[in-house]
Amino acid sequence: AGETLAVVEAMKMQNVLRAEQDGTVKKVHASAGATLAVDALILEFA
């Protein structure tokens, strides 16, 4: 818990996404530098 999972930049501000609980990332759906939609899936957990 508390680990940084991703950093999303929006309007020149960086938003850090942190884990709220222990777990395992099953799949990463976004790549570095990708443009994300508002409801885009970024990470999937096992």
pTM confidence score: 0.74
Q: What is the domain partition of the chain in residue ranges?
A: 4-45
Other CB atoms within 10 A of residue 8 CB: 13
Among residues of the chain, what percentage have pLDDT more than 90?
98
C-alpha 40/C-alpha 23 separation (Å) is: 20
Question: What pLDDT, on the 0 to 100 scale, is given for residue 44?
Answer: 96
Question: What pLDDT, on the 0 to 100 scale, is given for residue 29?
Answer: 97
Question: What pLDDT, on the 0 to 100 scale, is given for residue 24?
Answer: 96
Q: Tens of pLDDT along 11-29?
A: 999 999 999 999 999 999 9
Backbone angles phi and psi of 9, in degrees to 5: -100, 130
